[in-house]
Structure formats: structure tokens, C-alpha cells
Amino acid sequence: MGQVTIYLDDENERRLKAAASAEGVPVSRWVAALVQEKTRTEWSPSVRALAGAWGDFPELAELRVSAAPDAGREPF
């Protein structure tokens, strides 16, 4: 398991400690959970379960029919 050293100003350190304390976990566990959350590479199961949940949502082909043409681009 790796170890990381970070430098925080006093205010951010206070807020970090308060957030970890509010969740009842050590600061290192709180930071590790934050890193895991922010670097996740796939959707959580609760989000994946929403696929197809909106029965009245239009299909892709239907959405593309009404799409406006792209705006012209400026030359380099």
C-alpha cells in the first residue's frame, strides 16, 4: 500500500479533519475514499441500474432527426 504526503494550508487541513471526523473515519481513509470516487473508471451499480428506466425517452435515431446542423468553424 502506497503512502502519499500532501501539503495543505491551515484552513483546508481544518476542513479535511472536520469532514473525516463527521464521517467517523480517519483522515487517511477519508482521503482514500475521495481518491477512489474521483478516479472511478466505470459507473456505479446504482447508476447502471437506471439504464432504460425512462420508457418515454426517445430513441437515438429520433433525437438525431431534429438535430440542428453544426455551426461553422473558424479557420486556424
Residue 65 lies in a domain: no
Number of separate domains in the chain: 1
Q: Does 67 map to a domain? A: no
**Residue 8 domain flag:** yes
Parent domain of 24: 1-39
Q: How many residues does the chain have?
A: 76
66 falls within a domain? no
> Is 64 in contact with 58 (CB distance < 8 Å)?
no
Quote the pLDDT of residue 67: 73
For residue 32 the three cell numbers come to 482514500
Average pLDDT over residues 45-58: 86
C-alpha torsion sign, points 42, 48, 50, 56: positive
Given a cut of 80, whether residue 66 has pLDDT beyond it is no
Structural domain contains residue 32: yes
| In-domain check, residue 29 | yes
